[in-house]
Chain A
Amino acid sequence: MRKLNASGKMRELMASYYMLGHQAEFNAWITSGAPVELLYAMDIYPVYPENHGALIGATKLGSHYSEFSEKKGFSRDLCSYARCDIGCVFAGTSPIGGLPKPTFLFACNNICNTVVKWYEVLSRIFKVPLFVLDMPFIRKELKESHLRYVEEQLYDFIDFAEKITGRKLEDSRLKEVVLKSLEGVRLYSECLMTARNKPSPMTCFDAFVNMAPIVCLRGTDHAVSFYREMKEELDERVKKGVSAIENEKIRLLWDNIPVWYRLGWFGKFFEERNACLVADTYTNAWTGFGVLKGDDIISSMAEVYTLSYLNIGLDRTAEVINRLIELYDVDGVVMHSNRSCKPYSFGQYEIQKKLNVPAVIIEADMVDERAFSEAQIVTRLEAFLEML
């Protein structure tokens, strides 16, 4: 696979992001699907345990840090991000020396309900306040009552954060952050969309590696300039006809969180078989966080974050995947049944039936390498490629 220069820059950017967290006056640990714009608008530094979990997975230390929580009685069936994050707290360190102690915690359950209990545990360990932003699950249509429920909580959250920090949320500052968030998401989406080209200039592995800024730095200039530069690099590849893999014959879509400790292995496996995973449902989930409808920021925020990818019913999920299948013109879907992520993996067999192209399901875990059985995965994937 041809490496993107962007990935090197991303590493530097994220290294300084983690470092600066230790210097911030106030920081909040936040879940990946929460409206981070509110924190940036109040100069509260956001810290992402999930991103930290992915980083631990990528450094192949998942089971090592999980065992710190397992020894304390946390079940191996619990999400491996949660196990690693809590494990690092018990271990007192991590591959990046641990996360800074939080001023408060901000959990939004639009991605899963594990985060509620996970953050309650953190709240007890650190003895800091926790705010849970409770999102109604949108099985079918989004209703006015849903929005009102979320909006009220967003105002409650602002009060909560103002009280703890003694700072006021300024409307003008919020607007500024939201506009940067919009711009970041727009450029990020454009990067992903370059994979519509045949051959594709990027793979979903490039997307996974370079997604940290849109998650952690959404609403800042850093994300905007990072994705602007990445877009230029990808455009340049398209112009010169440079493809991500040597010989793209089959185009595929990945579903679910990646297997972080096997990114390189998967990349090589598919490239050797002339298959390119051009896109994925996971990184595409963040393309939805950039819609601002009308002037009311809080009400737009309520809508956008309530309709997050993992907070909608199976029919809608299948619709989203079918849209991606069409958009990226893929021949098949590789679905990772992720032992850790129940809301993402639940229903995959049902969704598979609703898709417009064939799909294969492989079982693994995003961070815990003990749940990866290579021979079985190879057979399923090879048989799937033979079938296509």
Chain B
Amino acid sequence: MISAGIDIGSITAKCVILKDNRILGYRIMRVKPDLELTAREVLKDTLEIAGIRREEIDVIIATGYGRNMVNFADKRITEISCHAMGSSFLIPNTGTVIDIGGQDSKVIAVENGKVLDFVMNDKCAAGTGRFIEVIAVALGLKIEEIGDLALRATEKLKISSTCTVFAESEVVSYLSAGEKIENIIAGVCDAIAGRIVSMASRVGIRREVVLTGGVAKNSGVRRAIEEKLGFPVKVPEEPQIVGALGAAVLGMRQV
């Protein structure tokens, strides 16, 4: 039994191929304007990595905000159900999933892989991956550098704006005031963590708390979230593929 999960997000596309609960291969790539083509490409690449042929796949599940553009999928399931399932697959006692993606951030209350409740940000990029990208550009940094720099901060500067665009100008004014980059970044990570933890409080925080999505790779945001929660969170080895993995797991159970 082989199942493929394809997660078309706002910034990246992810694909996971699963054979009898074992990951054969996965791939993460940048989304292209043609989402259908992106889905085909990410699947093709993953097939190569997994070393199998397209015909060997029994079921394909699409998820993510571009799921409805994946016409060749057998079924489409929202990223909320998929993240809940993917997290529970990797960390069986998952109680809460905090997923910070490119465009969405969401908190999902989970029990045995099933969604109990969820809450998402709305119509605003604050607290999402895009927010960090914008700030990275303003600081002339690569996105990968942000997390480690934040850990070297000596103080956290306050980013008071809840809007990405205004926060960017706040960052620029800190720069011109001669503030240290790492302290500014620590402030940015803290602002994101603050937003997501208050969102999490709405659905209720139950351990284990699993951090997924691209932003989970950012050690600065992770630490800021842990500080606010008061306990450590779990981060899967590759947090960005959890949605696609959940789709593949749900695919296994469909057939």
| A residues lining the B interface (CB < 8 Å) | 349, 358, 361, 363, 373, 375-376, 378-380, 382-383, 386-387
Could you say which interface size class chain B belongs to?
10 to 19
Interface residue from B79, B118, B123 paired with A363 (Cβ < 8 Å):
B123
- Taking A376-B122, A383-B79 as given, write out 18 further A-B residue pairs in contact, using a Cβ cutoff of 8 Å, ordered by the A residue number: A349-B202, A358-B117, A373-B122, A373-B123, A376-B104, A376-B123, A378-B68, A379-B65, A379-B80, A380-B120, A383-B78, A383-B80, A383-B118, A386-B80, A386-B81, A386-B115, A387-B114, A387-B116
| B residues lining the A interface (CB < 8 Å) | 65, 68, 77-81, 104, 114-120, 122-123, 202
- Given A349-B202, A363-B122, A363-B123, are A379 and B115 neighbors across the interface (CB < 8 Å)? no
Complex CA gap A382/B202 in Å reads 20
Closest to A363 in B: B122
What are 30 A-B pairs at a CB distance below 8 A? A349-B202, A358-B117, A361-B119, A363-B122, A363-B123, A373-B122, A373-B123, A375-B65, A376-B104, A376-B120, A376-B122, A376-B123, A378-B68, A379-B65, A379-B79, A379-B80, A379-B104, A382-B78, A383-B78, A383-B79, A383-B115, A383-B118, A386-B77, A386-B81, A386-B115, A387-B80, A387-B114, A387-B115, A387-B116, A387-B117
Which residues from chain B contact A382 at a C-beta distance below 8 Å?
78
Prevailing SS type, chain B contact patch: mixed
CB distance from B44 to the nearest CB of A (A): 25
Closest to B77 in A: A386
Closest to A371 in B: B123
Closest to A380 in B: B120
Closest to B117 in A: A358
Complex CA gap A363/B122 in Å reads 7
A-B CB pair tally, cutoff 8 Å: 39
CB distance from B243 to the nearest CB of A (A): 12
Complex CA gap A383/B119 in Å reads 10
Complex CA gap A376/B115 in Å reads 18
Complex CA gap A358/B120 in Å reads 15
Complex CA gap A386/B67 in Å reads 15
CB distance from B220 to the nearest CB of A (A): 27
Which residues from chain B contact A373 at a C-beta distance below 8 Å?
122-123
CB distance from A162 to the nearest CB of B (A): 49
CB distance from B10 to the nearest CB of A (A): 9
Complex CA gap A375/B122 in Å reads 11
Closest to A337 in B: B122
Complex CA gap A386/B77 in Å reads 8
Complex CA gap A318/B249 in Å reads 38
Complex CA gap A43/B202 in Å reads 51
Which residues from chain A contact B118 at a C-beta distance below 8 Å?
383, 387
Complex CA gap A325/B100 in Å reads 34
Which residues from chain B contact A387 at a C-beta distance below 8 Å?
80-81, 114-118
Contact B78 A386 (CB under 8 A): yes
Complex CA gap A358/B115 in Å reads 11
CB distance from A345 to the nearest CB of B (A): 12
Contact B81 A383 (CB under 8 A): yes
CB distance from B200 to the nearest CB of A (A): 13
Which residues from chain B contact A386 at a C-beta distance below 8 Å?
77-78, 80-81, 115
Contact B122 A379 (CB under 8 A): no
Contact B78 A379 (CB under 8 A): yes
Which residues from chain B contact A358 at a C-beta distance below 8 Å?
117
Which residues from chain A contact B115 at a C-beta distance below 8 Å?
383, 386-387
Which residues from chain B contact A376 at a C-beta distance below 8 Å?
104, 120, 122-123
Which residues from chain B contact A383 at a C-beta distance below 8 Å?
78-81, 115, 118
Which residues from chain A contact B119 at a C-beta distance below 8 Å?
361
Complex CA gap A383/B63 in Å reads 11
Complex CA gap A387/B79 in Å reads 12
CB distance from B80 to the nearest CB of A (A): 4
CB distance from B53 to the nearest CB of A (A): 31
Closest to B68 in A: A378
**What are the nearest 5 A-B pairs in CB distance?**
A383-B80, A383-B78, A387-B115, A363-B122, A382-B78
Complex CA gap A378/B202 in Å reads 21
CB distance from A385 to the nearest CB of B (A): 9
Complex CA gap A383/B117 in Å reads 10
CB distance from B184 to the nearest CB of A (A): 30
CB distance from A369 to the nearest CB of B (A): 14
Which residues from chain B contact A363 at a C-beta distance below 8 Å?
122-123
Closest to B121 in A: A376
Which residues from chain B contact A378 at a C-beta distance below 8 Å?
68
Complex CA gap A363/B120 in Å reads 11
Complex CA gap A380/B116 in Å reads 14
Which residues from chain A contact B123 at a C-beta distance below 8 Å?
363, 373, 376
Complex CA gap A349/B80 in Å reads 19
Which residues from chain A contact B78 at a C-beta distance below 8 Å?
379, 382-383, 386
Complex CA gap A281/B84 in Å reads 31
CB distance from B29 to the nearest CB of A (A): 21
Which residues from chain B contact A380 at a C-beta distance below 8 Å?
120
Which residues from chain B contact A361 at a C-beta distance below 8 Å?
119
CB distance from A275 to the nearest CB of B (A): 15
Which residues from chain A contact B79 at a C-beta distance below 8 Å?
379, 383
Closest to A349 in B: B202
Complex CA gap A376/B80 in Å reads 12
Complex CA gap A192/B54 in Å reads 53
CB distance from B152 to the nearest CB of A (A): 36
Which residues from chain A contact B117 at a C-beta distance below 8 Å?
358, 387
Closest to B120 in A: A380
Complex CA gap A383/B65 in Å reads 12
